[in-house]
């Protein structure tokens, strides 16, 4: 592999673009792992890499991060860029005793308040003193996200952020990622196998298979022939465009406060929106707040509208 120095962006693009790959490729042992990748991530933008196993998604993310150096083309980052990274795998023995607080501090010198604050932001405030090895899959992903955002990054790189999380939990985590983008204003480079929800949550989707097969908005990609060729039958199901509404909150006393401020004590269960017809599927989802499931914010009706039926 050819080593190259990290490149700085021209002044004109520095403010706008956080990271850029220009025709970037990397070769190891005579094989190209990925080749010819163009990519930019700007503040507030979610760019999603999709593709089958071994298609070069993690490698591309590592090129963007500067962990790997391109053998050809260029990788450049905004000077002084602060990055939060949730890798696909962490080299940690998960059976060892390790509290969440200590885990957050393994790579960051964080104060107690910073640890609490980061966990609150990911809805995991109550887990501060918990043992890492006892966390559920969804809780662990929230803690990993907290660790990545604790330093208030400009760029968040999330390699399969919903691994080990069930379907309802996935939606809550994608919700959270969109909220983090909103609150931090950071750019997000995300990797996933989950074509539909992830694609729909992204501003830009890049479909990889050793090279860029197709790219564009989620609806563009869902209608692209090479996307269909790559994903076969799975691409034939409709693209779910993901929306969310925060229109009510479940209070600890069991009442529900609606968006207009009105309180209701007997409506839980009656307000779940289940519309299932040929075009709209609504899914309920419950986000765990910093206090646990009691009094959890309830994000109602994650609606998935079919867009550009890819069949
Ligand atoms: N350090 C390395 N040396 C040699 N080959 C590698 C190295 N890292 C990755 N590869 C190979 O490069 C290809 C792309 O790997 P990569 O991890 O980027 O794929 P991916 O799309 O993220 O896959 P997955 O969905 O399975 O996580 C694979 O064939 C992998 O075996």
Question: For 159-184, how does the pLDDT look when each residue is reduced to its tens digit (9 = 90+)?
Answer: 988 887 877 788 888 888 888 998 88
Residue range 275-284: mean pLDDT, rounded: 26
Residue nearest to atom 3 of ligand 1 (CA): 28
Residue pLDDT, tens place only, 108-147: 889 999 999 999 989 899 999 999 989 988 898 899 999 9
* ipTM for the whole complex: 0.97
Position 87 confidence tier, pLDDT thresholds 50, 70, 90: confident
Which atom of ligand 1 is closest in space to residue 55's alpha carbon?
A: 21
What is the pLDDT at residue 96? 80
Distance 39 CA to ligand 1 centre (A): 18
Q: Rg of the chain over CA atoms, in angstroms?
A: 20
The residue to which tokens 């094989």 are assigned? 31
Distance 293 CA to ligand 1 centre (A): 38
Which atom of ligand 1 is closest in space to residue 61's alpha carbon?
A: 18
Q: How far is CA 33 from CA 24, 28, 57, 66, in A?
A: 11, 7, 10, 16
Element at 154 (helix H, strand E): none
Alpha helices in the chain (DSSP H): 11-14, 57-65, 100-105, 112-121, 137-149, 167-184, 195-201, 218-222, 225-235
Instruction: From 27, 32, 33, give the residue whose CB has the most ligand 1 atoms within 8 Å, as the site to mutate.
Output: 33
What is the token pair recorded at 29?
A: 């042992």
Q: Which of 114, 169, 153 is nearest to 302 (CA)?
A: 169
Which atom of ligand 1 is closest in space to residue 160's alpha carbon?
A: 27
Q: Which of 77, 76, 75, 78 is nearest to 24 (CA)?
A: 75
As for ligand 1, residues whose beta carbon falls within 6 Å of it are 28, 33, 51, 53-59, 88
- Measured between alpha carbons, how far apart are the two ends of the chain, in Å? 41
Residue scoring higher pLDDT (243 or 301): 243
Residue nearest to atom 18 of ligand 1 (CA): 56
Which atom of ligand 1 is closest in space to residue 193's alpha carbon?
A: 25
Domains of the chain and CATH, by start: 18-243 (3.40.50.300)
Alpha helices in 189-303 (DSSP H): 195-201, 218-222, 225-235
């Amino acid at each position: 592999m050819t080593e190259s120095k990290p490149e700085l962006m021209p002044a004109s693009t520095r403010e706008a673009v956080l990271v850029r790959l220009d025709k970037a490729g990397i070769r190891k042992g005579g094989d190209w792992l990925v080749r010819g990748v163009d990519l930019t991530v700007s503040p507030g933008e979610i760019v999603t890499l999709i593709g089958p196993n071994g298609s070069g998604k993690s490698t591309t993310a590592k090129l963007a991060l500067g962990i790997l150096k391109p053998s050809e083309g260029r990788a450049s980052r905004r000077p002084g860029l602060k990055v939060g990274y949730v890798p696909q795998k962490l080299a940690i023995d998960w059976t060892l005793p390790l509290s969440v607080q200590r885990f957050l501090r393994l790579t960051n010198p964080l104060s107690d308040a910073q640890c609490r604050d980061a966990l609150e932001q990911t809805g995991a405030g109550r887990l501060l003193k918990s043992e890492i090895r006892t966390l559920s899959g969804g809780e662990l992903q929230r803690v990993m996200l907290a660790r990545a955002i604790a330093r208030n990054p400009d760029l968040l790189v999330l390699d399969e952020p919903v691994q080990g999380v069930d379907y309802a939990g996935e939606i809550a985590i994608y919700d959270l990622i969109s909220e983090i983008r909103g609150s931090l204003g950071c750019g997000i480079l995300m990797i996933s196998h989950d074509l539909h929800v992830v694609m729909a949550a992204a501003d830009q989707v890049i479909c990889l298979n050793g090279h860029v097969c197709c790219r564009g908005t989620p609806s563009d990609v869902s209608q692209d022939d090479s996307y269909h060729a790559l994903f076969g039958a799975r691409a034939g199901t409709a693209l779910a465009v993901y929306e969310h509404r925060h229109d009510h909150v479940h209070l600890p006393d069991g009442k529900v406060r609606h968006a207009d401020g009105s309180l209701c004590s007997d409506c839980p269960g009656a307000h779940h929106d289940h519309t299932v017809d040929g075009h709209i599927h609504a899914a309920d989802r419950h986000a765990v707040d910093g206090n646990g499931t009691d009094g959890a914010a309830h994000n109602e009706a994650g609606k998935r509208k079919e867009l550009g039926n890819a069949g």
